[in-house]
Structures are given as structure tokens and as C-alpha cells.
């Protein structure tokens, strides 16, 4: 079966259990290609150079092609402390789990932030697996609690990161 239409017809004929197995196999192959094709040291070093704004927080994630068939998502994150009880932060959630807890996490490197403010920067790398959902969550902590301020949501479609929504979160609704 070389023709994509034949493959789709074959997939439609599969029972649900087998279709789930094929879906997991495709996901695994995408992960293997991303892992096998990339120089993670070089990708992460470059991401630390370009992945953070003047505010010290991570930029939005992006897809990097690795090798001939692989692709990874670079997920910058960071925290900037103003005091012991106050900070700003931005991190990525993958399929409703923080990136550092995600089963897709290939690697995460963390470094202290440069400058006078305390904090850190991190670069997480995940494979660009179709159907994966990412939320970039910007928040703030003050005495009394942590609040989410803004969320940008993405989905990986055909190896690309597609923005699906943006929303501001009212402090009273989210802590």
C-alpha cells in the first residue's frame, strides 16, 4: 500500500482496538524519528540564545526540523522573582500536564537567569507528535497565592504548531 488513500481506507476498516494500536505506533515512530535525528545539545544551546524576551520569560514554543524526517517542539519557560513572595512566570503544559512531567519530554535543561533578579530559565524539548496539545501559561505570584494571567493554546497538526486560542484569565477565577 503506497497510496495514502488506500492506507486511509485500510485504517477505516480496522476495529477500534486495532486503530488505537496503530495510532500509538504512529506516535512512537514520530518520537523515534525526533529523538534519532536531532542534536539536542545544539538545539538547546541555540534555544537559550533566542528563546527568552527582555522580560526574562520564555517566548512562545516553536517547531524545529531535525534530520530528514524528524521534528521537535522547543518549549522555553522561566521564572523571574521580584522578591521572596513575588514572581512572574511562563511555562508550557503538554496535554494538560506540565512539560517537565510529560511522558513526551525528551530533555529539559535549566539555568539560572542572568542579571540582578533571581529566577531561572528552562528549555524543554518534546517530539512534534500530531494531536499533541500545548498551553503556554503566563502567571504571577504575590503574597497570598499564584494566579494565571494569560494562556495561549496550540495543537500540533501535520508537524506544525497551530495556535487554536488565546485567553486572558481573570484573577478571581483562577488561583
Report d(CA 75, CA 19) in Å as an integer. 30
Does the pTM exceed 0.85?
no
Query: Domain-by-domain residue ranges, the chain?
Result: 4-173
Q: What is the pLDDT of residues 75-131, one digit of tens each?
A: 999 999 888 788 999 999 999 999 999 999 989 999 987 666 789 999 999 999 889
Q: Does residue 173 register a pLDDT over 70?
A: no
Report d(CA 118, CA 14) in Å as an integer. 55
Tell the residue number behind the cell numbers 493554546, with chain if given. Answer: 153
Kind plus residue range of the DSSP H or E element containing 71: strand 70-83
Tell the residue number behind the cell numbers 513575588, with chain if given. Answer: 86
Q: Give the pLDDT band (50/70/90) at residue 50.
A: very high
Low-confidence winner among 31-40, 51-60, 95-104, 117-126 (lowest mean pLDDT): 31-40
pLDDT for 115 equals 65
Task: Supply the mean pLDDT for the chain.
Answer: 87
CA dihedral 8→66→54→154, nearest 10 degrees, is 10
Q: Identify the residue with better confidence: 93 or 16.
A: 93
pLDDT for 175 equals 43
Amino acid at each position: 500500500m503506497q497510496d495514502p488513500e488506500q492506507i486511509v481506507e485500510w485504517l477505516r476498516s480496522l476495529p477500534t482496538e486495532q486503530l488505537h494500536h496503530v495510532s500509538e505506533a504512529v506516535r512512537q515512530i514520530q518520537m523515534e524519528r525526533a529523538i534519532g535525528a536531532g542534536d539536542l545539545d545544539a538545539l538547546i544551546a541555540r534555544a537559550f540564545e533566542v528563546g527568552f524576551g527582555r522580560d526574562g520569560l520564555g517566548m512562545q514554543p516553536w517547531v524545529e526540523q531535525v534530520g530528514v524526517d524528524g521534528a521537535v517542539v522547543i518549549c522555553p519557560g522561566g521564572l523571574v522573582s521580584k522578591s521572596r513572595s513575588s514572581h512572574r512566570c511562563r511555562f508550557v503544559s503538554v496535554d494538560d500536564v506540565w512539560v517537565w512531567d510529560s511522558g513526551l519530554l525528551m530533555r529539559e535543561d535549566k539555568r539560572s537567569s542572568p542579571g540582578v533578579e533571581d529566577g531561572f530559565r528552562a528549555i524543554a524539548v518534546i517530539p512534534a507528535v500530531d494531536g499533541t496539545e500545548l498551553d503556554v501559561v503566563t502567571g504571577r505570584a504575590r503574597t497570598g497565592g499564584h494566579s494565571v494571567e494569560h494562556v495561549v493554546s496550540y495543537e500540533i497538526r501535520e508537524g506544525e504548531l497551530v495556535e487554536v486560542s488565546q485567553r486572558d484569565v481573570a484573577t478571581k477565577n483562577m488561583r
